[in-house]
Structure 1
C-alpha cells in the first residue's frame, strides 16, 4: 500500500520514425484510476508538464469515481495544451466494483460492470482543450515537426473494439503511424501490425500490479504474455508495442508490489532502415528484427 504512491517516470527510446524525421518525445499516461481526493497523485501528474513532451498519449482508465473528472482535468493541467490523443478504457465508462482477486487468473471470468461514469464529460474536456479522440477514427497530428497518423479502437477488454471502422493500410506518407488501444489484446494488435502501424500504445495491465522478484507479473489480465506486461517489445516483424504499467489501482485493490505506478517518456527516433515495400510497391512498414 506504500508502493502504490511511489510514482516513477520511466524512459525509453524507440526507433520507429521515418528516416530523416526529427526525434520527438511522447509522454504515455494510462490507468490513473483517479479518486477526487488523491492529491498526491494529482500533484505528481501535474508536474509532468515540465518535461515539455511533443505529444501526450492517454490510453484510458482515467476515472475511479463519478466526481473524478475535475480531478483528472486539473491533474493533467498544462499537458492538455500540448498535442495529444486518447482512447478510453473500461474504467472510464464504468466504476470499479469489489471482486475476488483470484478471478484475474481466469481470462474468461464473468465481468460485472459497476455504476456508469461521466465519460462524456471527460471526453468533452479533453477535446475542448485540443486532444484528439482516436476511438474508431483515423486522424492526423503534427507534433515535434512530424506528421503522425493516429488510429485507435474502443476498449477490447469490454469487446467494444470495432476494427472494421478503421481497417485499411496506415498512411505510408506519415512520419509515424501510431495505433492506440486500452487493452493490448493480440487480435487487435495483429490487425494494427498487418495494416502497417509502426507503434502501438496500450495500458490496462498495471504491469501486473502484484509482481514477484525475478519471476515478474503473475497475470496480465488480457491476452498478451507476461513478458510484455509493461514497457516496449516487438510485435510481429515491423511494429513496436509499448504497454504502460499505469499510475493507479482500483480503490478495492489499493496495492502494488515490485511494480511501481509509472508514466513513460518515450523518445522516438528514426528507424535505421527504410520502409519495406510491398509487392505492389506501396511502402507500408519498416524493416525490423524479431517476431511475436
Structure 2
C-alpha cells in the first residue's frame, strides 16, 4: 500500500454504525427524556345542542402509577389549577402494588371538583413483563396469573374522598355549572368486562331526560363495539384511553399499534366517530404513564387533555 493512503471503512459497517447510533440516541431520548415531558393538550369540539354552555373537561388516563414516580405525581397534582368543570379519568391508574400511594398524592388536590371514572385492567391486576413485539400480532391477552391490586381502596378514595362518580357499567346525572349532564360508561372492554347490555336500564333509571341535555360516554378501551354502542345510546361525545397513543410512534406517521381495534389514525387525540349515520367527537387520551416494564415514550409525549365541548353553531 502506498505511503499516506488509508483503507476506507466498508459501507455496510458505516451504515450499521449509523443505525446503531440513531437507535441508541432514540433509546436515550425515549427512556430518559420524553417520558418526563408531560404536556396538556388543549382542544375543543362542537358537541351539544345550541344554547348549552361550554363544558371544560380535564381528561386524564393511564397513569400506571408506581409510588416512586414523583415527577408524574407532582405534574398531575398541578393540573387542579386548571379548575375544570369536570374530570374524566379513563382508567389504568395503578402500575404497582403500592401504586395507590402515588395516586393519592397525585389526585388529592382535585377533591371537590366533580369527576367520573372507569376501570382499566391495571386498576384490578398488576402489570407483568411482556414482549412488546406481541402487540403487533393484535390486542394483548393475559397469559399468567396476575397480581391482584386493591381496587376497592382506590375506588373509595375516588368516591368518598374526591367525590367522583363510578361509571363502570353505570350511568349518572350530574349538574355542572347549572347544566344537567348525563354520563354513562363501561368497565374495561379489553378484558371483556364491559356490559353494554346493562346501560339502557341504567340510563332509564336516571329518569326522563330533558331536551338538550348533554350526554357523555366514557370507556377505558375504545373498542369499536363500545363506541358504536355509545352512539346508539345517544352520546354527544365519547372519551377513552388505553392505547397510550401507541407509546412508541414514528414521527410524521403516528401510532404503530393501538392494542385494540380502533383505527390507528384515531389511537390518539381528538377525532370524529361515525356510526349508523351519526357522528360525535371522540377523544382518545395518549395517557401520562407506561408500564414499569416498558419505561419509554417516543414521539408520543405523556399527556392530559383539556377538552372544551361547545354547542353546535
Tell me, yes or no, whether TM beats 0.5.
yes
**Equivalence map 1:26-37=2 (5 Å):** 26-37=57-68
Q: Secondary structure at the match of 2:116?
A: strand
1:164 paired with 2:164, answer no
* In structure 2, C-alpha distance between the alignment counterparts of 1:230 and 1:148, rounded to whole Å: 25
**Which has the larger displacement, 81-90 or 236-245?**
236-245
1:190 paired with 2:228, answer yes
For the pair shown, the structure with the greater C-alpha radius of gyration is 2
Which one of 70, 95, 115 corresponds to residue 64 of structure 1? Answer: 95
Structure 1 counterpart of 2:13: none
Deviation at 1:271?
1.4
C-alpha offsets along residues 7-52 of structure 1, whole Å, 9 cap, x if unaligned? 0000000111221011121000000000001111000011001111
Which one of 99, 122, 126 corresponds to residue 154 of structure 2? Answer: 122
Structure 2 counterpart of 1:265: 306
Structure 2 counterpart of 1:132: 165
Deviation at 1:195?
1.6
**Which has the larger displacement, 20-29 or 74-83?**
74-83
C-alpha offsets along residues 91-121 of structure 1, whole Å, 9 cap, x if unaligned? 0010000011011112255423520111110
Which one of 37, 53, 64 corresponds to residue 84 of structure 2? Answer: 53
Q: Secondary structure at the match of 1:157?
A: helix
* In structure 2, C-alpha distance between the alignment counterparts of 1:135 and 1:76, rounded to whole Å: 19
C-alpha offsets along residues 237-292 of structure 1, whole Å, 9 cap, x if unaligned? 232211000000000000010000000001111112xxxxxxxxxxxxxxxxxxxx
Structure 2 counterpart of 1:286: none
Structure 2 counterpart of 1:152: 185
* In structure 2, C-alpha distance between the alignment counterparts of 1:110 and 1:46, rounded to whole Å: 32
Q: Secondary structure at the match of 2:182?
A: strand
Structure 2 counterpart of 1:218: 256
Structure 1 counterpart of 2:266: 228
* In structure 2, C-alpha distance between the alignment counterparts of 1:267 and 1:18, rounded to whole Å: 14
Using the size of structure 1 for normalisation, the TM-score is: 0.90
* In structure 2, C-alpha distance between the alignment counterparts of 1:77 and 1:218, rounded to whole Å: 35
* In structure 1, C-alpha distance between the alignment counterparts of 2:286 and 2:223, rounded to whole Å: 15
Determine if contact 1:196/1:239 at 8 Å carries over to the other structure. Answer: no
Determine if contact 2:140/2:259 at 8 Å carries over to the other structure. Answer: no
C-alpha offsets along residues 141-196 of structure 1, whole Å, 9 cap, x if unaligned? 11123211010011000011111110377846353101011000001111111121
**Which has the larger displacement, 189-198 or 251-260?**
189-198
Closer, same or farther: CA 174–140 of 1 in aligned 2, 3 Å: farther
Using the size of structure 2 for normalisation, the TM-score is: 0.84
CA RMSD of aligned residues (A): 1.5
